[in-house]
Amino acid sequence: MKSSILLSFLLGLMMTSQAQSVSTDFDADWKFHLGDAPGAEQPTLNDQSWRSLRLPHDWAFESDYSRDAAQTDKGGYKPGGIGWYRKAFDFSDEWENQKVFIAFDGVFMNSKVWLNGHLLGERPYGYIRFEYDLTPYLQPKNNVLAVRVDCSREPAARWYHGCGIYGHVKLEAHAAVHVVTDGVCITTPEVSDRMAEVNVQTEIANTLDRSERITLETLLLDPDGKEIARESEGHSIGGNGIQVFDKKFQVSSPRRWDTKTPSLYTVVSRIKLNGKWLGETRSRFGIRTIRWDTATGFWLNEKNVKLQGVCDHLEAGPVGAASPDELIAWKIRLLKEMGCNAIRTAHNPQVPKFYELCDEMGMLVMDEIFDGWKKKAAQDYGKQAFDQWWERDLRAWLRRDRNHPSVVVWSLGNETGGNIAKELVRVCHEVDPTRSVTSGHSGSEFMDVEGVNGASERPMFFDHTPDKPFVATEAPHTWQVRGYYRTKTWFRDGYPANNAKRAFACPDLTEQEIFHYDWAPPGGNRNRKQIFNSSYDNAMVRITARKNWELMRDLPWYSGHFRWTGFDYLGEAGYVHGGWPFRAFMGGALDLAGFKKDLYYFYQSQWTEEPMVHILPHWTHPVMESGTEIPVWVYSNCDEVELFLNGKSLGKDRPGTKWDEMQCEWLVPWTSGTVEAVGYRNGREVARRSQTTSGAPAALKVTVEGDACPIITVSEVDENGVLNPYAENRIHYFISGPASILSLESGNPVNTENNFGTTSRTAFFGLGRAFLRLSGVEVSENENKVSAVVGAICGEPQLLTSNKIHIDAQSCSIRGEVMPRDLKIFYSTDGSDPRTPYIGGFEVQPGTTVKAAVYDGDLFLFDMEEQFAEGLGLYWGDAGSDEASQAAIGDQAEDAKLSSAVVKRNGKGFHGKGYVDFGNNQGSVEWYQENDGSPETVALHFRYSGNAKGRSGRPMKLIVNGVESELFFKNTANWGSDWKTVTVEARLNSGANHIVLSTIGRGGMYIDELIVE
């Protein structure tokens, strides 16, 4: 009874007095349980056995990859599920006399939140900030906040999505009269070099039952934090209501926000009630102008600017959805250094910190709210909640992001459609009339700016000029695996070279393929998509990165592009890359670990001024025949480049402006040694880079960057310190001090080992990284030191050029002084426990397993083990291996979604790993097909085999996006050895398409594959 009286007294104080606003980081000290836990919303539940953690958190990323995982190939073979979070806390003196809110930056998805057993609310969308009022249910002691996150319906996106509370959580305490969350709206309607007009609109809530007389004071601070204007005005505000107050300022000689000098001003809003200040709200903004012109494109501060952009998922890169602030900044910085000036938040909003960083770093943003306005993935927001929640989520997003100068255009959807488009645009213009609205090829007739995805890559797209401002929202689509090369051109859809309307030509670099190493031997891939893609900019859907840039640069109406993508990301592994074991989409200029691909340097050569040269490919080719002519490219922004081979000049070349002349190029007969590029401006050397032939892996090179989230980068090098570009040994990490490993990543798209909860991972093409998070707990200076020991058994898995093995272990400091260590290594080669002291390299025979143990003095740190035998690691192919591995050219039926059908492998002549047999069942096979362009008519080619006795063939039902038709499959000579094709035209929508072939009655023909042309 006393507690109840005290609580009533506290709540009364909250509603009457005038205390300062308080914002509290609420990320620490949460309890987590994976799986449903009925009754977990009740404060009496015993959660002592639950895991303790600090937010942000993504349980799906922490979980294993699995071929049958709920997110399927779309989500990179990660799980979904249900998770619970609980946090116990006492009432703080700081919150007395306040309204107390809990704010979540991001929870995926279907969250419900309780305080002390009382349901506060639910939010289906996984990419939106939201808050709840805790005040009515707070008690003096032992408050329990409980959050249930439901990702049980999967796949809930077309790419990998995180699961859990992946954003920050804050507790916000405000006076009864306060500025509403996201309630300050700042616009700059008039801007010149002499003067800028700044309009400030402030929403103030009065939660008291009576009217109050307040003073609203608004201050304007310049980018240096100096006060340049102050206005105070008294207002009367009614009880239990919200009122909006306008204030105008003029700023002399405004400092413009732009990509090179992102100057940020600040509005400070203060409320005074009964002579006492009730706290303040700070809102940053930038003074800049933006406009879109049909003829000339995008303008920033009255300067014509090409949008040199990329698309990126929130989850892209090395750590999943729960990316710490420092890693978000790291990703943006890498893109800035490439010359990128814009990011499209495909296909959902990012966390608030992302926009703050873009404001500070000068990165333009195409801010996108939805993927689909209806179902695209089987259980996505478009299916589960869009119709009921779209307007509430749309308005919350617009209000949250409207003050960010980095946001230059709103995007409402991606490859979707429906009559709702007009309403979406209406709400955008209502909430923010200052910005234009676009979409990724969705409801374009209603948009201010026409956004076009893959259709903008087709030659026929350029037969006309747009009748409204245009931007390529998703182009180009090219793929590359870091450090992997092929001289033969590859089109995703197998376009013939003469299909000049659908794809731009890209000639082969050599008549015969000269590179034959691969991730798997012939037959190790199930279809033609299960390959690594070349880094020569010759693997694509319709257009190379170079041609796309040429068009964008030279066409005045072409505002810019957002290439797909900046970073590689988990998911979409089936449709583009053929499915398991491929886990990731490889379209980034940077891989999953943030390592730069050759493509990165192409953009840098076109988009930056600092002198640079970059050579590809590397110069280590252990099985290549001497004298083989290798296309050597150099990307450079210099006037001219000279190439040297072992000190001898091979001549100079100048980077051109045409797409196939942008790289300097030489055909160089292969011989070991060093190839070196020297860049000149005005006849003077300004840049130099080289590639040297490497020996077998023999040591590690370790570097560390970062503060709160350090990144350890490890390179495998030969005895001379030269990177071995094929090294794939397992790298081990031992972390000492208050830090944990968030992720181990190397960029390998077919490595399905868990990134989390492990201390080792294989290098990929010579490189690997560990991503750490330092503890937020305050400790003494001595205990605050963090260091690591990194080790590996180095050698070629197949002993291809050398049977010599080295073992290396190195210590590195992460925070604080270098810790003195006495590292000792013991090893064995006969399968026994490692007891032989390691003093230097040694030779082994094929079939040897090397074991090693690393100690710091007498303290054991970690074990290592590496096998060396024929058939391990990369496949070192032959001239026929590429053709053999690509016999299957379509989407294989055995990889599609099957109902009442089985996969068979007897017979001959089938493509891939088998074919589908319905037996005597009523069954179906369903393919998923994405169309990143406009709706179009395509040809569907079904490869089949079968002989219906007593009949000329069998009918089967075709259902394309719900539209049914009947096909007739004529008999082939036999079942399973003679294969024919049935072709039919069908209409594909923009975005997701579902193609279903089902039996009519019981049984049907054997189905081998589908080719969409």
* Predicted local distance difference test score (pLDDT) of residue 465: 93
What's the chain's average pLDDT? 94
Bridge partners (DSSP) of residue 170 are 25, 103
What distance in Å separates the CA atoms of residue 475 and residue 462, rounded to the nearest whole number? 14
Annotation says 985 is catalytic: no
Question: What are the distances in angstroms from CA 939 to CA 935, 967, 982?
Answer: 13, 13, 10
Least confident of 166-175, 306-315, 599-608, 923-932: 923-932
CATH topology of domain 889-1012: Jelly Rolls (2.60.120)
- Indicate the burial class of 61 (C-beta count within 10 angstroms; 0-12, 13-18, 19 or more): buried
Q: Which residues contact 49 (CB under 8 A, 6 or more apart)?
A: none
Contact 158, 371 (CB under 8 A): yes
Kindly report the number of other CB atoms within 10 A of residue 409's CB atom: 27
Helix or strand run (H / E) with residue 388 = helix 386-401
Per residue in 412-431, pLDDT tens?
A: 999 999 999 999 999 999 99
Best CA proximity match to 1008, nearest among 887, 894, 886: 894
- What is the 3 state secondary structure string of 833-899? CCCEECCCCEECCCCEEEEEEEEECCEEEEEEEEEECCCCCCEECCCCHHHHHCCCCCEEHHHCEEE
Considering the domain 613-692, what is its CATH architecture? Sandwich (2.60)
Model confidence at 14, pLDDT cuts 50, 70, 90, reads: very low
Show the CA angle centred on residue 478, arms to residues 474 and 480, nearest 5°. 140
Per residue in 515-568, pLDDT tens?
A: 999 999 987 887 778 999 999 999 999 999 999 999 999 999 999 999 999 999
CATH of 291-607, one of 3.40.50.970, 3.40.50.1480, 3.40.50.20, 3.20.20.80: 3.20.20.80
* Predicted local distance difference test score (pLDDT) of residue 886: 45
Q: Output b/e per residue, 760-770; b: 16+ Cβ within 10 A.
A: bbbbbbbbbbb
Contact 844, 805 (CB under 8 A): yes
Kindly report the number of other CB atoms within 10 A of residue 488's CB atom: 19
CATH topology of domain 177-288: Immunoglobulin-like (2.60.40)
Domains 22-175 and 889-1012 fall in the same CATH topology = yes
pLDDT exceeds 80 at position 576: yes
Domain boundaries, the chain: 22-175, 177-288, 291-607, 613-692, 699-875, 889-1012
Place of tokens 């506290």: 10
- Among 415, 513, 894, 930, the active-site one is 415
CATH 2.60.120.260 fits 22-175, yes or no: yes
Per residue in 439-493, pLDDT tens?
A: 999 999 999 999 999 999 999 999 999 999 999 999 999 999 999 999 999 998 8
The token pair at 386 is 């869009």
Best CA proximity match to 914, nearest among 940, 928, 894: 894
* Predicted local distance difference test score (pLDDT) of residue 95: 87
What distance in Å separates the CA atoms of residue 652 and residue 382, rounded to the nearest whole number? 55
Best CA proximity match to 416, nearest among 464, 462, 465, 381: 381
Considering the domain 699-875, what is its CATH architecture? Sandwich (2.60)
